[in-house]
Amino acid sequence: MSHRTLPPATHGAGVPASATTMAPPPRTAAPPPSGNEPLSGSGSPSGSEPLSIWPRSAAPLGHDDLAVGGVPLTEIADRFGTPAYVLDEDEVRHRCRAYLRAFPGADVCYAAKAFLCRAMVHWVHEEGLGLDVCSAGELELAVTTGFPPERIVLHGNAKSPADLRAALRLGVGRIVIDSTSEIARLAAAVPAGSRQRVLVRVVPGIAAGGHAKIRTGTDDQKFGLSIADGSAQHAIARILSQPRLELVGLHCHLGSQITTVKPYLSAVRRLIGLLARIHEQHGVTLPELDLGGGHGIAYRPGEPALDLPSLSTKIRAELAGGCAAAGLPVPRLAVEPGRAIAGPAGVVLYRVLAVKRTGAHTFVAVDGGMSDNPRPALYGVRYAPRLIGRRPSAAPEPVTVVGRHCEAGDVLAADVPLPGDIRPGDLLAVPVAGAYHLSMASGYNLVGRPPVIAVTEGHARLLVRRESLADIQERDIGL
């Protein structure tokens, strides 16, 4: 398998921040999967089996328990408490490798915003992926963990001066320009005698994504520069006039939770058109094209997921054909999966605190909620929780799983089937919980954020400890 790393940023009289391009280290841990199956919730091909959306390592233990990564989930709950996030290391690695297989020679950059911790940085690095970050915080965590900065891309629609200073100081491979005001600010911050490689985030005017709040390819949202109104072309001309900025390509991100290939093909066609206009007007051939991420996954059995091999095959064909027609060389491709790598590798465990029957509704309240998973409240996401730890004696009936917070909208799973005898003390496991849960967690009601536990080959280890009341109180220093 080939892998092309991002070229290093240059600093100080054009000298590369790293004298040599850092090759990915040898890959270890989980053996590569066989076949070339589409990435969905698990290794189950049909998506309809009870465990189809769980990590591939998920296995029933008798009639009342489930193991992930060879570790019983009840054992994890007893040892680490609840709520708790369980992350299957081998599933993360499997998904990284599936992307590299599907996009040989391309830059595959893990989107850190989905979930980031030092172990995740280490796994992604070992598997040979790049990294895209959105803040100085994510950037510093990655670099201090040992991730090569020349393989990092910095995003953000409103980068702070601290974000830009950190990116230049650490030597990130790419900075994505998201607004015209950022051009002069960044150019002024680049040290004299050096150049910073940049991409321009363009808006192609394509509506795609699982919810209106996560669609970013249209002109009515905060990201990027529009092709339709000329903003992108104006920004490109300004960047090309800056001697300290080196424009190397276009960037486009259509949105999140996209489950069909068609929007990406439409984006490729419009971006090739822009590349052709740039070549015609400025005599410049841009060598890179970053199509972002947003690759959809299944959160419940039977839901659609983006077919990764189909995505790769069709994008490459569209890119090759379009560039040939425009008389352009095919640019180096980049993709930025986040959710599709981390999401299906995670499981969250909750303990039932109360069961309340009000009229025709049954509410099952757990010891977490919107402070550790705001996505149902934000986007109406639906999950498939499962009772583990005991054998039920009643048939399933529809219930609504709610959190412990003082909000009517603190609902984790509405109208889902759970045993009719569910009671306080029961343990619930919710799959597909690895992305945009802990990374979006809050301190609402001063409830500490849950821990993250990695599982692999029958062993569990703590990656991120539980946030304690002492942690919260130590930040409060004034009277």
How many angstroms separate the CA atoms of 127 and 30, rounded?
A: 10
Region(s) of the chain under CATH 2.40.37.10: 59-86+344-468
> Has residue 333 got a pLDDT over 50?
yes
Q: Confidence class of residue 255 from pLDDT cuts 50, 70 and 90?
A: confident
pLDDT at position 446 is 93
pLDDT above 70 coverage of the chain, percent: 86
Q: How confident is the model over 167-186, as a mean pLDDT? A: 95
- Summarize the confidence of residues 193-204 as an average pLDDT: 94
Over pLDDT 90: what percentage of the chain? Answer: 75
Residues 383 and 422: beta-carbon distance below 8 Å: no
**pLDDT tens digits, one per residue of 430-462:** 999 999 998 999 999 999 999 999 999 999 999
Residue 209 has pLDDT above 70, yes or no: no
* pLDDT at site 230: 86
Name the strand (E) or helix (H) holding 125.
helix 118-126
pTM of model > 0.75: yes
- Crossing angle between the packed helical segments 231-240 and 262-282, to the nearest 10 degrees: 50
CATH 3.20.20.10: does it fit domain 89-341? yes
Q: Which of 240, 252, 245, 244 is nearest to 278 (CA)?
A: 240
Q: What is the pLDDT of residue 331?
A: 97
pLDDT value of residue 7: 39
Bind-site residues for substrate: 339, 375, 379, 407, 436
pLDDT of 167 strictly over 50 = yes
Please state, in angstroms and as integers, the Cα–Cα distance from residue 230 to each residue in 226, 263, 379, following that order: 6, 21, 31
Closest CA to 93 of 124, 130, 132: 124
Q: With cut-offs at 50, 70 and 90, classify the pLDDT of residue 213.
A: very low
- Specify the pLDDT at position 205: 67
pLDDT in tens, 121-135: 999 999 999 999 999
Give 39: exposed, middle or buried? Use CB within 10 Å, 0-12, 13-18, 19+: buried
What is the average pLDDT value for the chain, to the nearest integer? Answer: 87
The answer to whether residues 251 and 292 touch, using CB atoms and an 8 Å cutoff, is yes
Annotated catalytic residue, options 96, 252, 323, 406: 406
Q: Which residues make Cβ contacts (< 8 Å) with residue 413, sequence separation at least 6? A: 376, 382, 383, 384, 385, 400, 401, 430
**Cα torsion 328, 314, 97, 133: sign:** positive
- Known binding residues are 294, 336-339, 375, 379, 407, 436
Rounded to whole angstroms, what are the CA distances from 11 to 17, 173, 438?
6, 11, 35
> pLDDT at position 381, please?
85
**265-296 per-position pLDDT tens digit:** 999 999 999 999 999 999 999 999 999 999 99
Name the region of 375 (left: φ>0; alpha: ψ -120 to 50; beta: rest).
alpha
Does residue 406 have an active-site annotation?
A: yes
Q: Of the candidates 413, 409, 364, which has an alpha carbon nearest to the alpha carbon of residue 384?
A: 413
CATH number of 59-86+344-468: 2.40.37.10
Q: Is the pLDDT of residue 43 over 50?
A: no
Q: Which residues in the chain are classed under CATH 3.20.20.10?
A: 89-341
Per-residue pLDDT, averaged over 10-38, amounts to 35
Output the six-digit token pair for 291: 């199509």
Mean pLDDT confidence for 150-168: 94
Least confident of 157-166, 215-224, 453-462: 215-224
Q: What are phi and psi of 460, to 5 degrees?
A: -120, 135
Q: What is the pLDDT of residue 256?
A: 81
| Residues of each annotated binding site for pyridoxal 5'-phosphate | 294, 336-339, 436
Residue 221 pLDDT > 60: no
